[in-house]
Amino acid sequence: MKFYSKTLRKLTCLVGVMYIVFNCKVDSVAIPFGISTSPVNVTVGGIVNGLDLNESVTLQNNGTENLTVTGSGTASDQFTFSTSLQTAESYYVTVFAQPISKTCVVGGNIGVAGSTSIMSIQVNCSVTTTYLVSGLVSGLAGSGLVLRLNGTENLPVNGNGPFAFSTTLANNDAYSATIAQQPASPSQTCSITGGDDNAGNGTVALADITNLAVSCQTNQYSVSGIITNMIAGDSVVLMNNSAQLTVNGNGTGSDSFTFPLQDDGTPYAVSIFFTPSGLYCGFTSTAPTSGTFNGANINLSLSCTNNPPAFTIGGTVSGLVGQSLAIKNNSTGTEMTIFSNGVFFFFNRYP
């Protein structure tokens, strides 16, 4: 910007207002003073903040020229209108078309062009539209199922049917739905399908996520074990509930067995249904031979012998008020004297 000064008869005129020309007359001679009136072409532009990759906003200057700015994936994207303005021309930048899921606001958008380009316009875009992540649960029989979104929000699920996370996501946000806790009583294994990769993961694309599917299967367990001391040719028939299982001796002295799988939470009851003549078998494991599956397999052990087992005979005495009581097993057996109420056993063992 150029300023001119001229002293005429000790009169000095200084002009510092753009494009305003003063004529100072001295002796009827007009001398122009002021800023150079040569026009300068300048550009108008600025920065757009908050656009996602490939997301676009269309700006407009002075109601005529439109400019579409597309997000590059960085925090800010620079823009410049192609039409230049001359010095002293005004500019007015507005949003002509908003992004689909955001609202953009223009700051510093009104002014008058000077002698340098205007690159101070700020366009700030923020999310206004968000989307749900949801789906459907099927096969759930247990309790305690918990779903998780993006490692942060936990969603307890109590039954079959639709579900939706409370957290909403913006367009182009990534989502990942996982199982945070499997159900129990009965124990089940649930898995997630759907999403972009058919495993519960993907990216929001201008729509709610509704195709997630959580499918639950009840875990299955079995009764199994080992029978020892059988010889080749021996056969023992076991029974679990109403299912029979024949175990044949292989000659190694250790023969394994496994009943068919059952759903967790269902009952089992194992017993010896048949042993060949002269073979005596019994359970030797501490695990109960009957009960209900509770998230684990049941392991039993049995042992067989050719010698008949020996048993004791006993009972309980109650109501005794005298000094003693004598009892005998069979008419010729050993006599036992009992002095108080309570449990008693004969000392002899019987096959």
pLDDT in tens, 83-92: 999 999 999 9
Question: Is 29 inside a domain boundary?
Answer: no
| pLDDT at position 337 | 76
With CA atoms as reference, report the closest residue to 300 among 316, 322, 281, 274.
281
| pLDDT at position 21 | 41
Asked if 269 and 212 sit in the same domain, the reply is: no
Asked if 51 and 121 sit in the same domain, the reply is: yes
Name the stretches of the chain with pLDDT < 70. Answer: 1-38, 309-312, 331-335, 345-351
| pLDDT at position 31 | 35
- For residues 88 and 118, the answer to whether their CB atoms sit within 8 Å is no
Question: Is 265 inside a domain boundary?
Answer: yes
Answer with the one of 92, 127, 162 that is the final residue of a domain: 127
Backbone region of residue 65 per phi and psi (left: phi > 0; alpha: psi in -120 to 50; beta: other values): beta
DSSP 3-state assignment of 323? coil
Asked if 117 and 178 sit in the same domain, the reply is: no
Answer with the one of 95, 127, 159 that is the final residue of a domain: 127
| pLDDT at position 36 | 44
Q: What is the rounded CA–CA span in Å between residue 118 and residue 76?
A: 17
Helix, strand, coil percentages for the chain (3-state, nearest 5): 0, 55, 45
Question: Is 258 inside a domain boundary?
Answer: yes
| Total-model pTM | 0.62
Asked if 55 and 77 sit in the same domain, the reply is: yes
Report the domain count for the chain: 4
Asked if 73 and 99 sit in the same domain, the reply is: yes
- H/E stretch holding 270 reads strand 267-274
Asked if 208 and 227 sit in the same domain, the reply is: no
Asked if 209 and 225 sit in the same domain, the reply is: no
Question: Is 21 inside a domain boundary?
Answer: no
Question: Is 263 inside a domain boundary?
Answer: yes
| pLDDT at position 347 | 58
Answer with the one of 218, 234, 264 that is the final residue of a domain: 218
Q: What is the rounded CA–CA span in Å between residue 97 and residue 205?
A: 19
| pLDDT at position 32 | 38
Estimate to the nearest angstrom the gap between the alpha carbon of 256 and the chain centroid.
41
Asked if 287 and 327 sit in the same domain, the reply is: no
Question: Is 255 inside a domain boundary?
Answer: yes
For residue 287, give the DSSP letter: S
Give residue 135's domain range: 130-218
| pLDDT at position 194 | 97
Q: What is the CATH number of the domain that holds 253?
A: 2.60.40
Asked if 144 and 177 sit in the same domain, the reply is: yes
Asked if 318 and 332 sit in the same domain, the reply is: yes
Question: Is 14 inside a domain boundary?
Answer: no
Question: Is 18 inside a domain boundary?
Answer: no
With a CB cutoff of 8 Å and minimum separation 6, the contacts of 34 are 4, 15, 17, 19, 20, 21, 22
